Amino acid sequence: MLSRKTKYAINALVYLARETKDGEPVQISRIAASENIPRKFLEAILLDLRHAGMLNSRKGKTGGYYLQKSPEEINIADVMRLFDGPIALLPCVAYKYYEKCDECIDEEACGIRAVFSDVRSETVKMLKKATLAEIIKRSEALKKNIVAQKKSLKGNANKLNNVTIKQQITSRQKKK
């Protein structure tokens, strides 16, 4: 699981990517209020994001935070690594944080390692693709779908056996 810190960081970054129109800095307290994040906690998180080069800040009276990179350049993988460390599920398949499993006997021929190496590759690939721009695009697509679905529901309200987009997704998930 992601730590709250990482989740808050992502929420804040997406908020900034959305809200920053003219490059004007946004105050911590505004982000905290909008995204339901404890003010003081967020303060520390934004500081870390700045030190990592994703955000920049202006101090003093009209101060606040703004993106230092474009929304296409900031991805979830980097944010996760910053706060939670390796994305890999085993130290022996981590790239930036590699470490031998200390109970391990033969790393080279380890089938467990092979499995988790595949999982890590796939996960990193997906999380690198997940930039702020991509996240915003997806949420917009979801919003459109919800609207379309509500229309179709209204139009077919008295038909039985009518399956909406959302119901299809839900039942696919439940099928296990």
Site residues for DNA per CB under 7 A: 3-5, 25, 27-29, 38-41, 43-44, 46-47, 50-51, 57-65, 84
Interacting stretch for a copy of itself, rule CB under 8 A, among 23-31, 35-43, 52-60, 157-165?
A: 35-43
Residue with tokens 């006997």: 105
Rounded distance, CA 151 to CA 5, Å?
38
C-alpha 11/C-alpha 107 separation (Å) is 38
Q: What are the angstrom distances between the C-alpha of 58 and each of 1, 63, 67, 116, 123?
A: 33, 4, 11, 42, 35
Is 136 a binder of a copy of itself (CB under 8 A)?
yes
Nearer to DNA, 83 or 131 (CB): 83
Structure token pair of residue 41: 């906690």
Residue at 12: amino acid letter: A
Interacting residue with a copy of itself among 85, 150, 152, 171 (CB under 8 A): 85
Cβ proximity to a copy of itself: between 67 and 130 the closer is: 130
Structure tokens, 81: 């690594």
Task: List contacts with a copy of itself (CB under 8 A).
Answer: 1-2, 7-8, 10-11, 14, 35-37, 76, 85-86, 88-91, 95, 101-105, 108-112, 114-115, 118-119, 122-123, 126-127, 130, 134-140, 142-143, 146, 173, 176
